[in-house]
Amino acid sequence: MKLLLAIVNNDDANAVNSGLSRAGFSVTRIATTGGFLMTGNTTFLVGVSDGDVDKVSDIIRTNSKKRVQKIPFEWDGSGTQPAGTVTVGGATVFVLNVEECRHL
Ligand code: 2BA
């Protein structure tokens, strides 16, 4: 079994939630905050069998967009995109091994 921690843009969260629920996956969503932009995002916890990891990833990918956002503070980082901006998303997904899941 795996636990997916998926960090998603708030603007995509309802679409991701609906996509996962319609496909029969149980999800928990947590209101979180990105440490760099210091703005809200949504983290989904999704416990699934090993064989469903790709299916869940596909649903998250399909419903998550890339966005260019302004950095709300002075930043001297270099890059190929407009100064003072970063590309956020689609989604950042961590896949963790789960020893056991108990519904008590
Ligand atoms: P934030 O921390 O607010 O980061 C927003 C975007 O800013 C990131 O987009 C990335 O493009 C850029 N960024 C983040 N840290 C940076 C840094 N130290 N220097 C330069 N640019 C930086 P994403 O990579 O798509 O990440 C979106 C959100 O996902 C992040 O929001 C954070 O909440 C989470 N995240 C991403 N990678 C993570 C990681 N390795 N560990 C924990 N959370 C992560």
CATH for 2-97, among 3.30.1330.10, 3.30.460.80, 3.30.70.120, 3.10.580.10? Answer: 3.30.70.120
Contact present, 19 and 59 (Cβ < 8 Å): yes
| Mutational pocket test of ligand 1: of 5, 36, 93, the residue with most ligand atoms within 8 Å of the beta carbon | 36
Peptide bond into 24 cis (omega under 30): no
Determine if ligand 1 sits within 6 Å of the CB of residue 88: yes
Contact present, 89 and 64 (Cβ < 8 Å): yes
Q: Which atom from ligand 1 is nearest to the alpha carbon of 91? A: 25
**How confident is the model over 12-70, as pLDDT tens digits?**
999 999 999 999 999 999 999 999 999 999 999 999 999 999 999 999 999 999 999 99
Quickly tell me which residue has 């709300």 as its tokens. Answer: 72
- pTM, full prediction: 0.94
pLDDT of residue 102: 97
Going by alpha carbons, the residue nearest to atom 23 of ligand 1 is 88
What is the amino acid identity at position 88? V
